[in-house]
Amino acid sequence: MRKLVAGLLVMGMMLTGCGLGSEKVNQDASHGGSEVIEGGMATRLVEESPLIFNYEVMNQSDIAVTMEFSSSQRIDYTVTTEAGEELFLFSSVSMFLQALGEEELTEGEKLEYMIDLNELELDPGKYFLSVWMTPMDGESYKVMKEFKID
């Protein structure tokens, strides 16, 4: 009986790791900061004030989209130089609760996340901010925006 229960638990964990029902997209809006993605999902990345950005994922379809997560982390982002050097990766300096969770977006619903880069103390120059959702099945709804520091 114990072997049967253990086998069912292992099978359940394997199915959970497959990321049931979410859409995966690896497209960038290179400089504009927004893009409508196939399947009706739209991303937007807007600089609200100097070095404070709003990342938004919106369901523009009539079908609910569910993203499953293995931790409390929902997004990740990087800041890179014009030459492509990665200066900062959010997940490398952050801690997240290890708990299963999900986000479901029905028609017209959106998720929004504020990103404050003021503490990075960046030198004057041109940079790129890339942001994406982090469901169990991999990077989704990625968008990139160029910004400058004078």
Block residue for tokens 């990625």: 142
CATH number of the domain that residue 84 is part of: 2.60.40.2360
pLDDT category at 110 given cuts 50, 70, 90 is very high
Count of domains in the chain?
1
Q: Exposed, middle or buried: residue 126 (CB in 10 Å: 0-12, 13-18, 19+)?
A: exposed
pLDDT of residue 6: 37
C-beta atoms surrounding 62 within 10 Å = 9
Whether residue 126 is predicted with pLDDT greater than 70 in this model: the reply is yes
Question: Over the stretch 35-86, which tens digit does the pLDDT of each residue have?
Answer: 656 568 999 999 999 999 999 999 999 999 999 999 999 999 999 999 999 9
Among candidates 78, 96, 77, which has minimal Cα distance to 86?
Answer: 78
Q: Enter the tokens of residue 38.
A: 């196939």
Among candidates 116, 134, 118, 117, which has minimal Cα distance to 57?
Answer: 134
Q: Enter the tokens of residue 43.
A: 């991303």
Alpha helices in 1-150 (DSSP H): 2-16
Q: Which domain holds residue 84?
A: 2-149
